[in-house]
Structure 1
Amino acid sequence: MTENEFQNKTVCVTGAGRGIGKALALRLAELGAKVIAISKSDENLKQLVALNNKISPVCVDLCDWNATKEAIKPHLPIQLLVNNAAVAILHPFLEVKPEDFDVLFNVNVRSIICVSQEIARDLIERKLPGSIVNVSSQASAAGLKDHSIYCSSKAAVDGLTRVMALELGPHNIRVNSVQPTVVLTEMGRIGWSDETKAAGMLSKIPLHRFAEVDDVVEPIIYLLSNRSAMINGVGLPIDGGFLAT
């Protein structure tokens, strides 16, 4: 990383209260960025700020379009954005409920549009460059049992990423996505603690391991940085080779 590259840059991270978002917010703050951390959990934000009091917490429900835009405005301009917030509701296809569909697409897709619009419009007006990273999943490109809506929402994230890259690129705003496999966050360790369940997924990953949080954080930082200045519209698998099999 170029020395001081993130100094004087404002970075917004959604879903920053825990997991990948939390680790990413802390790492970016360590690199000197001014970090705007968005979460709907005030308690999670308090715990994050306790670890680094230079991080600016923003507590808002990303499903609330107008409240989200109003919460972002005081922090503009924001040159770097990571749309990390997501939820998963797992059911067999024949048991999918319309309300589950609405929740997943509101958080996993619609919130990306909401946050990115507000930030990108401001950058264009100020004629500033930017970089946006959308956190997708290997589930965007592979069918996973009981993941009907989740897979659909993440495929939508990758489609959205390509169009954003096409339309925002002429304004010097790059947009890419990352596609992690199972990530061993606190929740991930609990969810995949069953050895039989884990073995089925691990057998499809050539590196035969799940991702640690830093395995995802560092590629995101690379895509935010000037080192990836010619990378735009890409979906980057972080899956140990899962999608290659």
Structure 2
Amino acid sequence: MSPSLPRTPSFRLEGKSALVAGASSGIGLGAAMALAEAGASVSLAARPSARLEEAADAIAREGYKARALPLDVADVRGTAEAVAASGPFDVLVNSAGIARHGAAVETTPEDFDAAFAVNVKGAYFLAQAVAKGLMAAKRPGSIITISSQMAHVGGIDRAVYSATKHAVEGFTKSMAIEWGPHGIRVNTICPTFIRTALTEQTFANPERVKWITDKIKLGRLGRVEDIMAAVVYLASDAAAMVTGTALMVDGGWTAD
């Protein structure tokens, strides 16, 4: 008698509603496209701009389900209201973030507060808003925050940024513990340096490029496409037993 063979859980997301914050460009746009390709209906969120509308329209023109949802995660009250009005969302990808890089001795309170307002406070309360909607609807879900390898190591001119991402890892673990009984999984994705419009300033510095490529064991910079499959995995039933953890997509940077 032949054995009963297991089957790989589905990576498909048909029937799921997804919210991607910071979706007008870069990793956020890649995440939105990945979820749409997997079958989800995706709301692309970012501060109001023509670029946000264009991103949503571009995905929709490919035949996928996408719409723009203007919001600013730093506006906690406004974000909560938008999520309550548009949700519940089965999947959240929080890719909204800012960087205020510079030497630690030169950090200003304004830079510190700006980074924490978006990367920590904004991410925290967006996750809370999505979780509240899922709990009210008695639905499971997946909450994913785009963190960073800098949540696990330090780096040149990265003291403030690294601090925000370490904080994200902390609240992710605690939320995973609290919301697990509700079937809500909470995880992070931790990329290495990904080539986007926001990172071009770093890549314009030959010394920094050498530092980066020396640390990445696979010997190349990251691409947005390197993050897209990780997003689909954590959003889908394929990751049904994964919560409270960080998925490293860092080319081996943190292996040292």
* Range into which the TM-score falls when normalised by the shorter chain: over 0.9
Quote the Cα distance in structure 1 between the aligned partners of 2:194 and 2:144: 17
Match of 2:253 in 1: 242
Say yes or no: does 1:126 pair with 2:133: no
For residue 203 of structure 1, the aligned residue among 214, 225, 228 is 214
1:202-241 matches, cutoff 5 A: 202-241=213-252
Q: Does the CA-based 8 Å contact 1:17-1:41 persist in structure 2? A: no
Corresponding residue pairs, total: 245
Unaligned runs of 5+ in 2: 1-7
**Match for 1:116: what amino acid?**
A
Q: Where do 4+ consecutive residues of structure 1 move more than 4 Å?
A: 1-4
Match of 1:48 in 2: 55
For residue 179 of structure 1, the aligned residue among 157, 169, 190 is 190
Task: Answer with 184-193 or 44-53: which moved more.
Answer: 184-193
For residue 113 of structure 1, the aligned residue among 124, 137, 140 is 124
Unaligned runs of 5+ in 1: none
Match of 2:105 in 1: 94
Quote the Cα distance in structure 2 between the aligned partners of 1:179 and 1:61: 22
- 1:203 match: secondary structure: helix
Say yes or no: does 1:19 pair with 2:46: no
1:131-150 matches, cutoff 5 A: 131-150=142-161
CA-CA distance at 1:194 after TM superposition: 3.3
- 1:52 match: secondary structure: helix
- 1:166 match: secondary structure: helix
Q: Alpha carbon RMSD of aligned pairs, Å?
A: 1.6
User: Which string of whole-angstrom CA distances, capped at 9 and with x for unpartnered residues, describes residues 196-225 of structure 1?
Assistant: 321111111111111111111111110111
Q: Does the CA-based 8 Å contact 1:37-1:58 persist in structure 2? A: yes
Q: Does the CA-based 8 Å contact 2:11-2:238 persist in structure 1? A: no
Normalised by the length of structure 2, the TM-score is 0.91
Match of 1:10 in 2: 17
CA-CA distance at 1:190 after TM superposition: 4.9
For residue 40 of structure 2, the aligned residue among 26, 33, 36 is 33
Which structure has the larger Rg?
2
Normalised by the length of structure 1, the TM-score is 0.95
CA-CA distance at 1:2 after TM superposition: 6.1
Match of 1:80 in 2: 91
CA-CA distance at 1:163 after TM superposition: 0.5
Report sequence identity in percent. 35
Task: Answer with 151-160 or 195-204: which moved more.
Answer: 195-204
Say yes or no: does 1:152 pair with 2:159: no
Q: 1:171 to 1:82 in 2, by over 3 A?
A: same
Q: Does the CA-based 8 Å contact 1:192-1:198 persist in structure 2? A: yes
Q: 1:3 to 1:171 in 2, by over 3 A?
A: closer
